[in-house]
């Protein structure tokens, strides 16, 4: 799949998934997304988002991890902040989850998010990168190996948000659907260990 495409037959329409390509596991998310399309037998392409022209005709957007405090600056410098807010289906992992949250706890001065998903996230709640860890966790998608790297914590969610992993006191993954807008957030990095969340995002939130 040299062009970042997979030809399948889940539905006739070909979908276009964008990955914000400024920082984080961009290559890993692309590989996981392509494998998810293949597993679902769904026609689609995966493109890297760096400028306004890349956003055209996107069906979904994936926000990788990285440094949450510079997410806003990178997006603002690229001139795509408002365009990203309009995308109807967004999957945020780690710092990407922080960037879609309506509220950020312990944010630094000037730090902003897209404010599209009804949740409050505490940045770097699990500590520094040296305290990163892996853990087998139970999710509504099955048991997975979750990789936490300077992970945030989802402190609370709105009434329309469904918890997919963890519990009300320790939310690890969640989704929000409604009014034609769908969001998926994980505190960990699924792209490093599984395609289950990419498949779930495509099948249940995008299609």
Query: For residue 24, what is the DSSP state?
Result: S
| Residue 187 appears among annotated catalytic residues | no
Contact residues for 27 (Cβ-Cβ < 8 A; gap 6+) = none
Question: Which parts of the chain have pLDDT scores under 50?
Answer: 1-3, 6
Identify the active-site residue in 83, 175, 189, 199. 189
pLDDT at 110: 85
| Residue 191 appears among annotated catalytic residues | yes
The domain locations on the chain are 5-206
| Residue 198 appears among annotated catalytic residues | no
Taking the whole predicted model, whether its pTM rises above 0.85 is answered as yes
Identify the active-site residue in 45, 94, 174, 199. 94
pLDDT at 1: 42
Neighbours of 138 (CB within 10 A): 11
The C-alpha torsion from 55 through 98 and 162 to 140, rounded to 10°, is 90
pLDDT at 4: 63
C-alpha 178: how far from chain center: 17
Neighbours of 29 (CB within 10 A): 28
CATH class of the 5-206 domain in this structure: alpha beta
pLDDT at 5: 53
pLDDT at 169: 86
Identify the active-site residue in 28, 45, 176, 191. 191
pLDDT at 3: 47
Strands 101-105 and 117-122: parallel
pLDDT at 109: 87
pLDDT at 12: 55
pLDDT at 128: 54
């Amino acid at each position: 799949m040299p062009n970042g495409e997979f030809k399948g037959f889940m539905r006739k329409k070909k979908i276009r998934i964008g990955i914000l390509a400024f920082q984080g596991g961009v290559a890993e998310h692309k590989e996981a997304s392509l494998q998810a399309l293949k597993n679902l037998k769904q026609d689609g392409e995966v493109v890297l988002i760096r400028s306004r022209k890349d956003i055209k005709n996107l069906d979904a957007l994936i926000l990788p991890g990285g440094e949450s405090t510079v997410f806003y600056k990178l997006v603002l410098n690229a001139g795509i902040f408002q365009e990203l807010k309009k995308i109807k289906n967004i999957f945020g992992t780690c710092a990407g989850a922080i960037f879609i949250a309506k509220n950020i706890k312990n944010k630094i001065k000037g730090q902003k998010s897209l404010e599209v998903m009804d949740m409050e996230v505490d940045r770097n709640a699990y500590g520094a990168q040296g305290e990163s860890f892996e853990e087998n966790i139970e999710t509504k998608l099955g048991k997975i190996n979750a990789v936490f790297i300077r992970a945030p914590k989802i402190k609370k969610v709105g009434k329309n948000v469904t918890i997919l992993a963890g519990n009300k006191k320790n939310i690890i993954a969640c989704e929000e659907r409604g009014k034609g807008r769908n969001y998926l957030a994980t505190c960990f990095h699924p792209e490093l260990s599984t395609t289950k969340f990419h498949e779930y995002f495509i099948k249940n939130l995008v299609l």
